[in-house]
Amino acid sequence: MQRDNQTTMQEAQMVCVFDTKKIAVVLGDSPVRLWRLTSAERLERQLQHAGIDVWHDSLEALPADAAVVILRADYLYDSRVIKGLAKAQQVLLEVESGAGKVPVAAHVRADQAGVVGELLRGRGSGNSPSGIVRVTVAQVAQGFDAALLKLDHPFVLPLSEENRGALEQLLFSGAYKGITDLVTKWLWPVPAQWATHLCVGLRVAPNHVTALSLVLAVLAGVLFARGEFGWGLLAGWIMTFLDTVDGKLARVTVTSSRLGNILDHGLDLIHPPFWYLAWGIGLAANPAVAAALPLHLLYWVIFVGYIGGRLCEGAFQLWIASFSIFTWRPVDSYFRLITARRNPNMILLTVSLILGRPDLGLIAVAGWTALSTAILLLRLLLAVQAKRSPGGVRSWLGEIGQTVDKRDLAVRAFTTILPDHNKA
């Protein structure tokens, strides 16, 4: 019996994942590596992020009372599909192919795992056990990703050398926020993908990139305070670029961690107003400029405005809806492109330095911060009123194809829902 178990393990190359409620079994593997990860490695990490501990054993060792998620390793799975499949019960997931529908994954009882496993391998009668419902990707996973403020198609796609490049591109694009500032959305994607490839090749971890970002954030502040605005902007722009790279690197390699998230989001939240304070300190080194500028007033406007804007965003999600205020209506998504966050403000500072008037840059940041916060406060008050209406407050991303036309400019600008990636 032990020899039979070892033979089964060697033939199927299985990885099993277990927690107190369910077990996930990955059948086989694939020689195709995406961002240097084998399919089995990627699936293990995805399952771990779904809150399931990993263990290695055979199908015969499955606990009799377990619910079993079974996944074919010759397919690439969107993480949303894995999470959705884990929540579903007694289902067989199928995807379209040229020859019809192909079963690729399932969530069944342990006593059904053997039969379903044979079905996923393409063996047996082709009939699923009684009580198991055949489902599609759209039925187990939603397209809206609240964390990344985006809407696109969840996917399950076959792995092959022919489509390896396209799949790596899909994973990278899927790691990008759909609604963000104009620099991150349109300037950084191509160089960020090059840098992510370089980091993967050199085995640089996302936390290493985040640590370098932290160093550069401090360095930029010091240079601003010394009045060395040009060098400070260089350090600051590199920092903002690396802030994009670390997140993409973490997602394509499925290596995000709690510490990394705390460092990344904490740094993003805290450092911007201190950069503007440092910029003012640098300006104050010139007595003539310091005498002409109401620096203390500008500091108050920037800090109060920045904190107020963040509080408006948080209040919307706490009291109005579970999604971001920037995904409420298309106008909010457009506003996110230029709202007074770090990157748009960096543009103001850079332009002011090019014009030889860094003092005007600080004034522009203060004014735009105050105006942005006023707009966010207005949108929050309108949302409070809308919540009392019969329709309530809904994200426009969930209304595409209903009250929002699929051909609308906002749909094309902020989503990638039109191509259907699930055609095998």
Domain locations along the chain: 2-144, 175-393
pLDDT of residue 401: 78
Task: Quote the tokens at residue 384.
Answer: 């409070």
pLDDT of residue 7: 39
Q: Do the Cβ atoms of 283 and 297 come closer than 8 Å?
A: no
Task: Quote the tokens at residue 95.
Answer: 């995807």
Q: How many residues does the chain have?
A: 424
Positive/negative CA dihedral, 296, 300, 303, 305: negative
User: E strands of 121-249, at which residues?
Assistant: 133-135, 144-145, 150-152, 156-158
The closest alpha carbon to 108, from 124, 127, 120, 91, belongs to 91
pLDDT of residue 55: 57
pLDDT in tens, the chain (424 residues): 444 444 343 344 445 554 446 788 898 889 999 999 999 999 999 988 887 765 566 666 677 788 889 999 999 999 999 999 988 889 999 998 877 889 999 998 888 888 888 888 887 666 777 889 999 998 998 877 766 667 788 999 999 999 999 999 999 998 888 899 999 999 999 999 999 999 999 999 999 999 999 999 999 999 999 999 999 999 999 999 999 999 999 999 999 777 777 877 888 889 999 999 999 999 999 888 888 899 999 999 999 999 999 999 999 999 999 999 999 999 999 999 999 999 999 999 999 999 999 999 999 999 999 999 999 999 999 999 999 998 899 999 988 878 888 888 998 889 875 444 455 4
Lookup result for tokens 């501990």? 53
Helix (H) or strand (E) holding 108: strand 100-109
pLDDT of residue 157: 95
Query: Domain 175-393, what architecture?
Result: Up-down Bundle (1.20)
d(CA 339, CA 279): 20
Helix (H) or strand (E) holding 92: strand 91-97
d(CA 93, CA 90): 10
pTM comes to 0.87
Q: Is 100 left (phi over 0), alpha (psi -120 to 50) or beta?
A: left
Task: Quote the tokens at residue 27.
Answer: 């059948």
Q: Do the Cβ atoms of 28 and 71 come closer than 8 Å?
A: no
pLDDT of residue 287: 86
Q: Give the other-Cβ count within 10 Å of 161's Cβ.
A: 10
pLDDT of residue 11: 41
